[in-house]
Amino acid sequence: MDTNPNDFDLKAIIALLRRQIRLIVLTIAVFLGVALIYLFSVTPMFTASTLILVDPAQRNLLDPTEPLSIPAMAADARVDSEVEILRSDAIALAVLDNQNLLRDPEFGPQIGLMDRVQQAVGFEVETRQSGEALVQGVLRRFSDAVSVRRVGLTYIISVSVDSEDPDRAARLANALAETFIAAQVEAKVAVSLTARDALLGQSDAALQAVSDSEDALDTFIEVNLAELEAESGLSEVAELRRLVDQVNEQRLTAEASTLAAQQALQAGDWATLSDRLGDEALSELDRQREQLESRLAAATSGSQEEIDLRQALARVEAESVDRADAVIGVLRSEVADLEATARDYRTQIREVLLQGELSSAFLTAMYELQQEASIARRQYQTLLSRLRDLETQANIQVADSRIVAPALPPAEPTFPNSRLILAVALVLAVGAGVGFAFLREYYVGGVTSADQLRDILHARIATSIPKANQGASQLSLADSVISSPLSLYAESIRRLRATIDQSFRIRDPRGEHASADPAGKVIMITSGLPYEGKTTTALALARTYALAGIKTLLIDADLRRPTLHKQLGLTPEQGFADYLRDLEIKRVASSFYGRDAIANLSVVMGARRSETPTDQLLDSAAFDELIRHARDDFDIVILDTPPLIPVVDARYVAHYADAAIMLVRYSVAHQRDIRSAAAQLQEALHTEAEFFAVLNHEQGRQRRYSYYGYYSDEHAENT
């Protein structure tokens, strides 16, 4: 029963794997060897991770009433934004700078593979790079080593760095997180300072508005003071006005002295400075300076005395500057106090006038000016308060993120994962080994078992001929069926005959079984290529039939390269090709027909290679007539035909066969040739003919196939 190619046969697959176990083991060994070489050659990488917790609320320390919670969508967007900031080149460049990665052996400048090859062969390589290219290369390598991701839907960001050194990996991961947090604080401070700078202009304008409104009110009062004093009838107004004028005069005097002292100090005019400030300490310092200058003028140049005098003079001048700054500071304080006093007097004048009995026109004008000054003052105070808040906020800014789990140096490398790589290599090796096994079993190489041959051809395997040694006295290995009837070789030939008999159901010579067809059966023996043992097998099978008492005829139908007569030890004058070609030979007895000397077997032999196209001879009426007569006179007719691949002769003979046997040499014939030969033979057979395959372990004389003897000499040499 033929095997259906669509059937799944677990036993057959297991048998296939057992046949190809060496190939599978070799494949696994190669894969695992490559994996081990890779593991030993690759540089291990360590991964350190830092966890950062992001507070999406962005709390304001100056406003405790601000809500602490924000919508989930806004919080998610904030965390995702921080992830992108962490991935930015700005943060990476800051780490490159503060960690000095431009000089790091791992991330610093490196030469490429081509440069290394050029160096290895002795060429000089230009290793200098421009500053920008150098930084970009280090930045690219560092960015490739950094991994930033959000942990699930939490507010935690994981920052990981891969490095050859575990300590470096932990240090860079922490540095990246710290740089990000510092940049976050700097950004918040910059925002506060930018807002403060934007308010400074408005506050200056508001201060000017306050001053203008105060001046407008004071100007109105001064211009109309006489009328206001007369209309109110208050003597206090005149006294307050006199005090204001007195204070202003003192303030102007103090300002003039301060300005003159500053100019003298800048010019280094110590005498004028002493006179202006009227300070005894400055005067004493000025006398000391004059004495030192006089002594310095008389001192020898380059002497120790000159050096000491210059140092003493420098100390005196420094003390003079410090004393002058202190006195000028006192004068400035006096000016400020006088301005405040004058301002108080003017305020008292306003209050006194507003309490007096003034006309509605004066009251309305003064009230309007006073309200404008009050509004301007409140606006200025509001801006000033906001400026102070922004300055304070800039000084007390905290990051919205913090490190909750700093990176620690990892104990084991994360790459390569030896177990995973070996497991994957093993899985791939087993898969590749099994794949190679199926490929070799069905497509590549020769056939090594009967099961493999059956799987390739999906045909019945009649027998498997074992390897046997031809005796020194034997003309052919086929002699073993007579000389060694109990050998494995003889048994395999009998098994072949039994398989054919079961197919034919022929009648036993002793008349125990009835035959459905009294005509003799034609058995065709061929192969895909030369040197596969078809002639030897045909002779052995014919002798097996003959020894069983069955009338058997063996015909050497290989007209291109007949060899049957050599295995019989005969040398016929004419061959079978001569019989088919020459009618004269048909009329007389010829030596191409004879008897086997060691078996009751009739044979039709060839003598030499035919010079006539053999397909014409095998497709002739003479051959057809011979086969018809052979069927009538013999029970079994065995045809030894040429191989299928080199020539077409066997295809013209196949339609006569009731059973076709194709021999396949063990581990020699290519599977594509086997399939091609089987397809050609099955196409040529008639529908009721049986097709069998035989695996032949017999050692041939040729280690490789040759078509010599089937083509012309010139073509054979080229082939």
Query: 35 and 422 in contact (C-beta within 8 Å)?
Result: yes
Helix axes 10-19, 450-457, angle to 10 degrees: 120
* Ramachandran angles phi, psi of 648, nearest 5°: -100, 0
* For residue 596, pLDDT beyond 60: yes
Q: Is 236 exposed, middle or buried (0-12, 13-18, 19+ CB in 10 A)?
A: middle
Give the pLDDT confidence of 62-81 residue by residue, as tens digits.
Answer: 555 555 556 778 888 889 99
- Tokens 């079994």, residue located: 636
Q: What is the pLDDT of residue 508?
A: 45
Q: Which two tokens stand for residue 113?
A: 């593979």
Give the pLDDT confidence of 619-647 residue by residue, as tens digits.
Answer: 888 899 999 999 999 999 999 999 999 99
Q: What is the pLDDT of residue 423?
A: 93
Alpha carbons 319 and 224: distance in angstroms, whole number: 51
Identify the bridge partners of residue 461 per DSSP, sorted by sequence position: 693
CA dist 187 to 55, 85, 399, Å?
16, 12, 9
Q: Which two tokens stand for residue 450?
A: 């009967």
| 491 C-beta neighbours (distance < 10 Å), count | 16
Q: What is the pLDDT of residue 1?
A: 40
Q: What is the DSSP letter of 467?
A: P
- Could you give the count of Cα atoms lying within 13 Å of 103 in the half-sphere of its Cβ? 4
Q: What is the DSSP letter of 477?
A: G
Alpha carbons 490 and 641: distance in angstroms, whole number: 22
- 167-176, 342-351, 573-582: lowest mean pLDDT where? 342-351
Q: What is the pLDDT of residue 289?
A: 79
Query: 383 and 139 in contact (C-beta within 8 Å)?
Result: no
| 397 C-beta neighbours (distance < 10 Å), count | 19
Confidence bin at 339 (pLDDT 50/70/90): confident
The predicted model scores a pTM of 0.52
* Dihedral sign from CA coordinates of 79, 80, 85, 88: positive
Query: 191 and 176 in contact (C-beta within 8 Å)?
Result: no
Give the pLDDT confidence of 427-453 residue by residue, as tens digits.
Answer: 999 999 999 888 877 777 778 888 888
* For residue 2, pLDDT beyond 50: no
- Tokens 């023996």, residue located: 525
Q: What is the pLDDT of residue 290?
A: 81
Query: 662 and 526 in contact (C-beta within 8 Å)?
Result: yes
Give the pLDDT confidence of 40-50 residue by residue, as tens digits.
Answer: 988 899 999 99
Instruction: Kindly state the average pLDDT of the residues 19-32.
Output: 90
Q: Which two tokens stand for residue 118?
A: 């050029």
Distance of CA 504 to the CA centre of its chain: 65
Q: Taking CA 547 as the corner, what is the angle to CA 546 and CA 551, rounded to the nearest 5 degrees?
A: 25
Q: What is the pLDDT of residue 510?
A: 42
> H helices of 558-636, where?
564-568, 576-581, 583-587, 614-618, 621-633
CA dist 670 to 9, 445, 665, Å?
24, 5, 9
Q: Which helix (H) or strand (E) holds 523?
A: strand 521-527
For the chain, how many helices (H) and strands (E)? 26, 12
* For residue 554, pLDDT beyond 80: yes
Three-state DSSP class for residue 259? helix
Alpha carbons 66 and 461: distance in angstroms, whole number: 92
Select the more confidently predicted residue: 311 or 656: 656
- Regarding beta strands 602-604 and 552-556, do their DSSP bridges make them parallel or antiparallel, or are they unpaired? parallel
Which has the closest alpha carbon to 523: 370, 656, 411?
656
> 447-469+476-506+517-718 has which CATH code?
3.40.50.300
Identify the bridge partners of residue 238 per DSSP, sorted by sequence position: none
Confidence bin at 192 (pLDDT 50/70/90): confident
| 387 C-beta neighbours (distance < 10 Å), count | 17
Which has the closest alpha carbon to 660: 645, 629, 682?
682
Residue type for 473, please? S
Query: 465 and 533 in contact (C-beta within 8 Å)?
Result: yes
Residue spans of the domains in the chain: they are: 1-36+416-444, 37-195, 205-395, 447-469+476-506+517-718
Confidence bin at 586 (pLDDT 50/70/90): low
Query: 294 and 312 in contact (C-beta within 8 Å)?
Result: no
* For residue 530, pLDDT beyond 80: yes
Alpha carbons 176 and 507: distance in angstroms, whole number: 96
CA dist 472 to 203, 466, 476, 565, Å?
126, 19, 10, 18
Instruction: Kindly state the average pLDDT of the residues 691-712.
Output: 67
Query: 524 and 488 in contact (C-beta within 8 Å)?
Result: no
Q: Which two tokens stand for residue 678?
A: 């089987």
Confidence bin at 514 (pLDDT 50/70/90): very low
* For residue 361, pLDDT beyond 60: yes
Query: 19 and 449 in contact (C-beta within 8 Å)?
Result: yes
> For 646-675, b where at least 16 C-beta lie within 10 A, e where not — what string?
bbbbbbbbbebbbbbbbbbbbebbbbebbe
* For residue 513, pLDDT beyond 50: no
Give the pLDDT confidence of 265-312 residue by residue, as tens digits.
Answer: 777 777 777 776 777 777 777 788 788 878 878 777 778 888 888 888
Q: What is the DSSP letter of 514?
A: -
> H helices of 524-658, where?
534-547, 564-568, 576-581, 583-587, 614-618, 621-633, 649-653
Alpha carbons 244 and 588: distance in angstroms, whole number: 170
